[in-house]
């Protein structure tokens, strides 16, 4: 009798494993994909800041693209997958933006960045050093695609950085 119950329990364990294993693997892949998405976001933020700092130091727009692409820590920042915008401007003594010159330097998306002049002006209202400055805004809109297959959709990641010269 004892041998019969052992075989039944082993069969039950195998069925339970067959039912639970796909769920565990899917969960593990989603955790890995989430980590890769987070890593991509951090790499994009770092690349955007590097491009903005370079642009403020007088870098040309094509060179800003080069800096962003090479600071992306393995991200494929290319025209079909990313849009890069460079906005150069300046403020007056009241901190109001008086010059706003957006340029799309890479990509096939919209002609203007999604960060607007009004958005930046609202942000400048909280900065103590927003008067009489020149600034550069670099925005990168990136399409993240899943690597593991756990996230078969494409997710947009947006990063922008604003640097100013007093």
pLDDT of residue 124: 85
Structural domain boundaries of the chain? Answer: 2-165
What pTM, to 2 d.p., does this model score?
A: 0.85
DSSP character string of the chain: -HHHHHHHHHHHHHHHHHHHHHHHHHHHHHHHHHHHHHHHHHHHHHHHHHHHHHHHTT--HHHHHHHHHHTSTT----TTTEEEEEEEEEE-TTS-EEEEEEEEEE-SS-SS-SS-HHHHHHHHTT-TT-TT-EEEEEEEEEEEE-SSSSS-SEEEEEEEEEEEE-
Per-residue pLDDT tens digits of the chain, which is 166 residues long? 455 556 667 788 888 888 999 999 989 988 898 899 999 999 999 999 999 999 999 999 999 999 999 999 889 999 999 999 999 999 999 889 999 999 999 999 999 999 999 999 998 888 888 889 999 999 999 999 887 776 677 899 999 999 998 7
């Amino acid at each position: 009798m004892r041998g019969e119950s052992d075989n039944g329990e082993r069969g039950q364990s195998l069925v339970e494993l067959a039912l639970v294993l796909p769920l565990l693997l899917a969960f593990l892949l989603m955790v890995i994909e989430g980590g890769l998405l987070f890593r991509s976001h951090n790499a994009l933020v770092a690349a955007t800041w590097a491009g903005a700092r370079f642009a403020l130091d007088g870098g040309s727009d094509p060179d800003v693209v080069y800096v962003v692409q090479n600071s992306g820590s393995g991200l494929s920042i290319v025209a079909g997958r990313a849009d890069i915008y460079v906005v150069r401007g300046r403020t007056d003594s009241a901190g109001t933006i008086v010059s706003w010159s957006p340029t799309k330097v890479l990509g096939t998306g919209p002609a203007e960045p999604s960060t607007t002049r009004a958005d930046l002006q609202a942000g400048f209202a909280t900065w103590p050093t927003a008067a009489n400055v020149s600034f550069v805004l670099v925005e990168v809109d990136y399409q993240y695609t899943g690597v593991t297959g756990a996230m078969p959709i494409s997710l947009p990641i947006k990063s922008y950085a604003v640097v100013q010269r007093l």
